[in-house]
Amino acid sequence: SLSESPCFSYVLLKLKEMFNSKFGSIPKFYVRAPGRVNIIGEHIDYCGYSVLPMAVEQDVLIAVEPVKTYALQLANTNPLYPDFSTSANNVQIDKTKPLWHNYFLCGLKGIQEHFGLSNLTGMNCLVDGNIPPSSGLSSSSALVCCAGLVTLTVLGRSLSKVELAEICAKSERYIGTEGGGMDQSISFLAEEGTAKLIEFSPLRATDVKLPSGAVFVIANSCVEMNKAATSHFNIRVMECRLAAKLLAKYKSLQWDKVLRLEEVQAKLGISLEEMLSVTEDALHPEPYNPEEICRCLGISLEELRTQILSPNTQDVLIFKLYQRAKHVYSEAARVLQFKKICEEAPENMVQLLGELMNQSHMSCRDMYECSCPELDQLVDICRKFGAQGSRLTGAGWGGCTVSIVPADRLPSFLANVHKAYYQRSDGSLAPEKQSLFATKPGGGALVLLEA
């Protein structure tokens, strides 16, 4: 297991030495929380639909020493991330700048508010991590989860993994991102050797056994995308919300109570395939402007702005409701098909799973418009050199691709992709060892006491 591996012991020892030189003392305990790769099910968790991620071995690791004062001191092993200190009693999270320490504060504040505590004990924390930032592998959520577990441990309280995941999913929204909860759930609920189907309300996780004859390979496009710093992500969340309301209104449901596309399907009691045909009937492919949305719902522009739109989407002039709903309902169906193929394990399962991943990428690119030229190019290169399927993973607009590769083709696949994408003649990409790697399902968050 992870905590017994010699490599991990070395990482802890190095972190302990850095902690000592930074704070002049020894950490009492360590917490790790992994990043994740979403195999299929992109941009649908916040619509209420199940997703299929696995934890990666890369993680965030924090060395912690509780102190008697109320001072919270955060340091990072990476010199790009400056030290930060504040009073543990007065945690302010600045939404305008997604700085690294704000993600720590999200996790801390979530636990603090859950227990209704006004006073928190102070602590010294040294944060280390090897998840590439802004790559779509959930480095920020891993930091939120890690900080939540750190705070819980310092308080000497206990919560179930499901409760922790739900608290951290909610608290990450303090940073201004309206995410769904997949990243925090897999960080806590992951188990070594298996991917998970994560379902929401109520939150639960089911093992999904991946094919033994194939490997999942992550390739970083090296285009960084910071979810909290861009409005793309929150606009998509809002387009899905508006699509749900228009679909509900079209079907004479109580639309003002509806927030997610999944709720419309649940209220109508019909299949995902049937929801796709309702979408065809109810919505048009041409973009909607705010005035037309108001006409459809019978409300004023003022009501739309103040009661439905979030502050960061109030000035958006066009909403592509048809395309976003089509993506969500078709992607939700692909997740269920993926799980079913893994369970039934037919002879050609790697090919079938690959086809679903390819369809997912096409939908992300054309209907959800969350790809970018570099991701599309990388996906094409991966397919050309032996991937049975390849798609963007994470929010998109940059970050990583995930590919399913037959195990016997792995060495040539890695060599060829490295040459075709990372060794460009113009030398524009710094080849990082973090950029292209095979991965296997890792374990979830844990606490290690200093022996």
Q: Is 183 marked active-site?
A: yes
Catalytic residue among 94, 183, 281, 408: 183
Are 217 and 403 in contact by the 8 Å Cβ rule? The answer is yes
Residue 252 CB neighbours (<10 A): 7
Rounded CA separation 19/22 (Å): 5
* CA nearest neighbour of 136 among 8, 11, 262, 230: 230
Q: How far is CA 171 from the centre of its chain?
A: 14
The catalytic site residues sit at 183
